[in-house]
Amino acid sequence: MSDLITIAQKLGVDIDAELLSLALTHRSFAYENGGIPHNERLEFLGDSVLGQATTVLLYTRHPELDEGSLAKRRASVVSTVALAEVARSIGLGEHIRLGRGEEQTGGRDKDSILADTTEALIGATYLSVGQEAATTLVHRLIEPLLADPDRYGAAIDPKTALQELAARVVQSVPVYTIEGSGPDHDRRFVATVTVGDVVTTGEGTSKKTAEMAAALTAWHVLNDRA
């Protein structure tokens, strides 16, 4: 219960305790505990709320941008990599209910799990206190992405950020390789990016997400050097 209170306080939203617990329950935990409900339906709902709230915010804040530019910016802000950075900023990983397998393989810091749980929390907020409160939460979560480009710019577009930083720091171009595994309905990808002597990896449910995760890690390494 203390975990629920802590994350609710971090979010600043009075979410129904049962829905909050559900939002924090990953499917790996559910499967290991008799097939109890998990957060994927809430994630589905939260993804929709997140997309709408972000679209309206960008539309009203940037009258100078055309449709294509708005769509690109929205896709970047709600990407798995960007949402994972938001989740880390509130320490979300420590509150997620994970199965033993995910726990042992670093699931609390996996971009996909962090981003999915963030969306589930948005969905739980919508059901608990309505669309207006859910929209306010979305704006509060994504505002740092929009307001602090020095801190979050790489998270919004990590591949571009890495390419620019690599040209400046090591005069090199990032080179990506990728491997896939798992059945068609649950495909996983691991991308490796090499920049000079820096080699990092990233994981995701799509090639693009995996490459973005690898690029962000490499960006952090090079940025620390710079």
Amino acid 68: pLDDT: 87
- pLDDT for res 39: 97
Q: Regarding predicted confidence, which is higher, 4 or 124?
A: 124
Out of 102, 119, 157, 211, the active site residue is 119
**pLDDT score of 113:** 93
Give the rounded percent of residues in the chain with a pLDDT score beyond 90. 53
List 47, 85, 102, 157, catalytic entry: 47
Q: Based on the residue annotation, tell me whether 16 is a catalytic residue of this protein.
A: no
pLDDT at 144: 82
At 148 the pLDDT is 65
- What is the pTM (predicted TM-score) of this model? 0.76
- Quote the CA–CA distance of 11 and 16 in Å, as a whole number: 13
Distance CA 139, CA 108 (A): 24
Residue ranges for the binding site for Mg(2+)? 43, 116, 119
Give the CATH H-level superfamily of domain 1-147: Ribonuclease III domain (1.10.1520.10)
pLDDT at 206: 85
pLDDT given for residue 152 in this prediction: 60
3-state secondary structure of 36: coil
User: Which tens digit of pLDDT belongs to each residue from 6-18?
Assistant: 888 888 898 999 9
Q: Name the residue ranges covered by the structural domains of the chain.
A: 1-147, 158-225
How buried is residue 90: exposed, middle or buried, by Cβ count under 10 Å (0-12/13-18/19+)? middle
User: 147 or 25: whose pLDDT is higher?
Assistant: 25
The string of pLDDT tens digits covering residues 58-80 is: 999 989 989 988 888 888 888 88
Query: How would CATH label the architecture of 158-225?
Result: 2-Layer Sandwich (3.30)
Amino acid identity for residue 58 in this structure: L
Query: pLDDT tens digits, residue range 39-65?
Result: 999 999 999 999 999 999 999 998 998
> What pLDDT is recorded for position 203?
87
Average pLDDT in the chain = 89
Residue 150 has a pLDDT of 57
Residues 6+ apart with CB under 8 A from 143: none
Contact 215, 195 (CB under 8 A): no
119 assigned to active site: yes
pLDDT band at 153; cut points 50, 70, 90? low
